[in-house]
Every structure is written in structure tokens, then in C-alpha cells.
Chain A
Amino acid sequence: MSPRPRPVAAALAAATLWLAACSPPASLVARDAWVRAVPPGATATAGYLVLENGSDREYRLTSVEADGIARVEIHETSMQDGVMRMRPVDAIPVPAGSNVALSPGGQHLMLFADSLPREGDTVTLALRFDDGTALTVEAPVRRGGEN
């Protein structure tokens, strides 16, 4: 309408650009990853992490790879009438604007190898999502308690 608001709009646009440049759209983040340290001789262990989806679309974690690990599967532990069941699942959905925790006694990664990393090692997990998005996250190998 009047020419007056223009400088304001320009300033706002500039500020928005500046903010965007400073904080890239961290729409999908993997954090707090760890792998359970297991006894020598064990050929399977579990991996856990938190997936944070700040975007407005759903992502689905569809596959995971890790150096030195023969195979990584996505599993879900569930409790039915006090009986623990563990089943592979095809994907873990991470709905728009929400966090999903892979944690003991729930959804988790299952890592298979003849020789697994030991306590104190770090495993790099390469996560792949349904749209091709790839993330890597460092997962320290440690002991962990409560389920």
C-alpha cells in the first residue's frame, strides 16, 4: 500500500535469510547413539539412538550399516503378558515434528558379527531413510542397565 513498510519487509527478509544461514534446517538428526557391550563370544548385540525429525514430513529409517558389522537389522521388542518378543521390522517411522527413541526393551538395531566391538570402541552407524537421506552417527560401545 504505502512505501513505508518496505524497509521493514526488507529487514525481515534479511533477518530471515541471516537466521537460515546461521542455523541450517536440521530437519532430521540422529543423536545419543550407543551400542551395548556384550560378553566375548557373543555374535549379536543391540544399538540404540534417538531420531529427531524437525521437518514437516515423515521419515522412515529403512536400513543401517556399520563398519565391521556383517549385518544390521531393525528390531522391535514388545512385552505381551510378561513375555518378551523380538521381531524384525521393515522400517521405523519418524513422524513429522517428533522424536523417536530406539531404546532397551523397545525398538532397537540388532548388530550381527562373528567378532563384535568391545567396550570403549566406537561404531559408526550409517543410517538410510526411505527418501534416500543418509545420516551417520557415532555410537560408543558401553554397558547399559535398566530396561
Chain B
Amino acid sequence: MNRLNPALIAAAAVALVAGVVLGGLVLPRDVEVESATLLSPARPLPEFELIRDDATGMTRADLAGDWSLMFFGFTHCPDICPATLETLAAVKRRLEREGDPVPRVIFTSVDPERDDPGTLADYVHYFDPAFVGVTGRRDAIDRLTRELGIISARVWNEERTAYTVDHSASVLLIDPDARLRAVFGTPHRVEPMARDIAAILEGRAVPSRDGGIG
């Protein structure tokens, strides 16, 4: 027994050093958020009354209790909207794979005249079955987007036969108290977004040194 002690002590010393080193690597650390602007303090959303893709109501109270990523667009948008929703689906898969908390994803239409709940449901569920589509009355959508700093404007073609909608392409992160916590500008990239979302949801996020507070 006694003869083994030096070896045991050495092993314990090695384990202690390894533990300190590994602990430093593995234990939660602050993460500088690079892909988003953090709002400090978080800005409460206004009351709103919109319609979910299953035709039930959607209000500010429905945002409480969970983190949400909100993106604004329209189903006739062929480039940025599908690209962003594919990116958000990839972010969600990555967070799930890493065992990180996953915010719900809400796609709100800025083209309610063409995007009824059924159209939106088919659209958002193509990207991920858990994504939520939201539409509503034009004035209700305009009021919410204005409060959130989301711009949208209808633009007709020369023949006035079809229109597109210019809109802000930012992705908003809403906290479980229905407050705007972070704004992800373009371009949206899976890796940095997933890392920053995980850090914010776990309370490890700090603004990036080059001015991340909005």
C-alpha cells in the first residue's frame, strides 16, 4: 500500500492539473456576440393581435415563456426569404445537435393580402415543421413592424401587373418576457448565429468589443 503512494500522488497531481486545464476549456465562458447587436436594456414589444398559420390568434402574451427568433418577409419572395428560412432551419438543427436551447422561429408576413394562414402554413412548414407563420390585418402588422424598426414597402412592376415587397432582412431575437433582445443583421450565417444564440440564451453573451450595443 505505502509503496503505491508516490504513484497515486503523482496521478492525483496530474488529474488536478488536467482538471483545471479542461475545466477552463469546458466550463461556461463569456462569448462576444459577433453576428448580432445586443439591446441593453431589452426593449419590450408592444401589444399586438395577429393570426397564426393555424388561424388561431397570436398576441404578445404568446411570446412569453420562450425565446423566439422573428423574421419578416412574404411567400412570393424567391431569394432572400427562402434563403433566410433555410439558414434558420440549419441554425435550429445545429443548436439541437449541440444540445443547446432552441428558440422557436416565427415568420411574419409583410404581405398579408396574399399570405393567408393556409398559404403561410404550407410555406413555413416546408422549411421546418416547427416553424410558425404569422399574418394578420395590414394595420396590425404595420404597427408591430414600425415598433420593431422593420421596414416594408410594396413596389409594383412597370406594367403594374405584379408587385414585390422591399423589406428589412434582419432576424430579431425576442426574450421570454417578450422583449427585443438582439438584432441579427445580414448576411445571416449558420455558425456564428448558432454560437451567438446559444450564448445569449445561456446568459453568457457579451457585446463584441467593436461596439455591439444598440
Contact = CB atoms under 8 A, between A and B. Distances in A.
Interface string B63-93: 0000000000001111110111011011000
Nearest to B170: A82
B159 to A, nearest CB: 11
Given A40-B122, A42-B123, A83-B169, A145 B75 contact: no
B84 A39 contact: no
Contacts of A147: 79-80, 83-84, 87, 169, 186-188
Interface stretch (B14-22, B47-55, B160-168, B197-205): B160-168
Contacts of B126: 38-40
B76 A105 contact: no
Interface string B120-151: 00110111000000000000000000000001
A68 B166 CA distance: 28
A44 B78 contact: yes
Given A39-B126, A86-B79, A105-B83, A146 B187 contact: yes
A85 B78 contact: no
Contacts, number: 100
A147 B123 CA distance: 18
Given A82-B170, A83-B166, A105-B187, A146 B79 contact: no
A106 to B, nearest CB: 9
A58 B197 CA distance: 45
B185 interface: yes
A110 interface: yes
Contact of A144 (B76, B86, B122, B123): B86
Interface in A80-118: 82-88, 104-105, 108, 110-111
B162 to A, nearest CB: 9
Contacts of B127: 39
Contacts of B166: 83-86
B29 interface: no
B87 A105 contact: no
B155 to A, nearest CB: 8
Nearest to B164: A86
B59 interface: no
Contact of A146 (B75, B87, B123): B87
A38 B78 contact: yes
Interface of B: 75-80, 82-84, 86-87, 89-90, 119, 122-123, 125-127, 151, 155, 157, 164, 166-170, 185-190
